A and B are shown apart, each in its own frame.
Chain A
Amino acid sequence: MNETNRDGLGLCCLVLMCMTFIYGPVAHADTETAELPQASAVWSSWYWPTLDRRPLDDQDMLNLYDDGEAMSRYDAFTLAQARTWELSYHFGGEVWYGHCHAWSAASIWEPQPTSDKVCGGVTFRLRDLKGLMTEAYYGVGDLSDDDFNLYRPSPGILWRILQDEIRGDMPKRGKPRGIIGNLTTKLGEVWNFPIFKYEVEYSYDSFWQTYSGTMRLWYASDGSRSYADSTNLYDSVRAYPFSGVSFDAQGYPTDSGLWSDWLVSDPENLKHPTLIWRPPPAASWATYCGNTQLEQTNLEQILDIVDLDFALNLTSQNWAKGSYRT
């Protein structure tokens, strides 16, 4: 957004806030919340950084190209050069560079691996299976055929997407499904997460005939390497204050409203989602796979391990803690 637009937006927001303060905003408050059904649940993992060591403390980052990790195990099984490829093409960058977009997509469309698997005498641990799935989805970053792709979405349109896709009012794919949010708090960085639950606390402003409140998004996290070794869901939540959302005649939010930080945006502390998107599921493991050393037949052998009873009914003891795993 250019400076003129931002100034105009800021002025509008200032006027809106002043009028809200003068006239009193609240007619009555309500809370709306929804989360994905169990069968559509997402899973936690690690963001598989591309940087080898963390500059701050020189700590090893656990990369897909590390010796003994997913790519080298794949090579041991297939005699391919996946690890070399990974070192050549997914190496270096900033400390936050990694595979978060690919993991987010895989966790929405693929059931979580639940146990180790041995192929040709090579053991693929839980984190290797998650790592291979993630690598197989790496190419979703440069797609034209997303289900949706909204850069700096308004609070109204995001609310509506949450209702459609998470609550299941009008899901694009016929069933509730997670959505991906770049929820970075730092301008210019990319932190994608699969969103599986939301809550909106809102109140009606009778003067402006709009709604204000706070939107909370729950997402599976990739913030610790240990998450890749577990079937537990490690979740986090972000809260985004908003104002000025108008509803249509049926009571659904329209593409409207402002996030609180659109008045004065702090590049180190963003309080709005940068991007909301979701790719289609992969037609095969090769569909989005950028690593040319990974092949469909081998990946099928390693990754087609889905215990559908587990994924769809979730009767296993292995499944995670959390509010929607009863």
Chain B
Amino acid sequence: MRKRYLPYLFFLILAILSHTLVSASDSFSICPSWTIGDWWTVDSQLYNRGGKVAGDTPHWLPKVTWLFSVVSTNSIEDQPCYQVMVRTKDSNSCPYWFYYWLRMSDFLVMCRELHQPTFIGTGHRVMPPIVKQDYSKDSIMPFVPYDFPSLPMCVPIFAGGTNNVYRIQPRSSEVPQKSQRTVKWPTRTYSATVIQTFSPGEKLQDKSMALSSTIAAVYAAGAVRNTGLYTLTYATNKYERQAWSVGLPWHVYTERSENGETIKKCWLLDYGHADQGSPLTDHGDVK
């Protein structure tokens, strides 16, 4: 009797294997390919869980808009990278802006520069105008920073199969001496482990996903295919899900959830290509 099931079992295993292989190849193909001058805008919205102001009740904060522009391609640690400028747009009052370097092959974030105003209106203390952080090319981790929460800059690794576990090497020896502590490379996430899963073909179903008119038109025209869903789990009950589509430069829609509550949503608004050398001037509104 048992032998009668063997062919079915064989085909079942074959189906699982082929699905995995297809999924793995899809995970590569969904990685965007940028050129200098590409730009896109993203709306980001945070959920204020309270705790800041007396009498405050949890509520969604107003959306803020960020403008991304591919300004250059260059190398960091001999790794070809895209250099992406991220600035505020429209009513976004954030006083700083950023450069990010993403490795072309898999979007590993290699470097971040924070640009901030120097001495402005009030009397506050002098700070360096640029703060740079380099990340090691040898430590492969998705970029899940805890800082700058409204910035839609959480990036999966576009490599590997459908399920990947990225771990910060744990320390198993005894307490490190202070003299031994040198921050050579900051980590891309402060979580010990990030579990990244990719679900090809899956879409993020949410009534608040409402696409912008530009992106909706792209979908309606059938210009977008091969969608997929990345899930980056960075702690127990904490994860971000991102819907990506081949042909679009950034995740179309994103939700971050912590302890059962959705705390952040992001929408791709618009995208295009500016003249090389002046990627920002046509789509200004840059502070």
Residues of A within 8 A of B (CB): 1-2, 5, 27-28, 30, 32, 39-40, 50, 93-94, 96-98, 100-101, 109-111, 136, 140-151, 154, 156-157, 160-161, 169-175, 182, 189-190, 192, 202-204, 209, 211, 246-252, 254-256, 274-275, 277, 280-287, 296, 300, 303-306, 311-312
Contacts and interface: CB of A to CB of B under 8 A. Distances in A.
Contacts of B123: 110-111, 303-306
Q: Is the interface of A mostly helix, strand, loop or mixed?
A: loop
B192 A151 contact: no
Contacts of A161: 146
Nearest to A288: B93
Contact of A30 (B146, B170, B175): B175
28 contacts: A27-B174, A32-B178, A142-B61, A143-B61, A143-B93, A144-B45, A144-B61, A144-B92, A147-B147, A147-B148, A170-B133, A170-B186, A171-B131, A172-B114, A174-B128, A190-B50, A190-B51, A190-B52, A190-B53, A202-B175, A204-B174, A249-B171, A251-B171, A255-B189, A256-B191, A280-B116, A283-B117, A304-B122
Contacts of A182: 51-52
B196 interface: no
Interface in B87-107: 92-96
Contact of B127 (A50, A174, A250): A174
Name the residue among A94, A97, A247 with the largest chain B CB count within 10 angstroms: A247
A256 B56 CA distance: 28
A110 B53 CA distance: 20
A249 B50 CA distance: 35
B180 to A, nearest CB: 7
Contact of A173 (B116, B150, B181, B184): B116
Contact of B235 (A1, A94, A255): A255
Interface in B169-219: 169-172, 174-176, 178, 180-187, 189-192
A136 to B, nearest CB: 8
Contacts of A2: 259-260
A136 B121 CA distance: 12
Interface string B60-88: 01101000000000000000000000000
B169 A93 contact: no
A240 B44 CA distance: 34
Contact of A284 (B120, B127, B191): B120
A227 to B, nearest CB: 18
Contact of B234 (A109, A111, A255): A255
Contact of A151 (B44, B51, B130, B187): B51
A143 B191 CA distance: 25
Nearest to A245: B192
A50 B186 CA distance: 43
Interface string B117-155: 100111111011011010000000000001111100000
Nearest to B47: A151
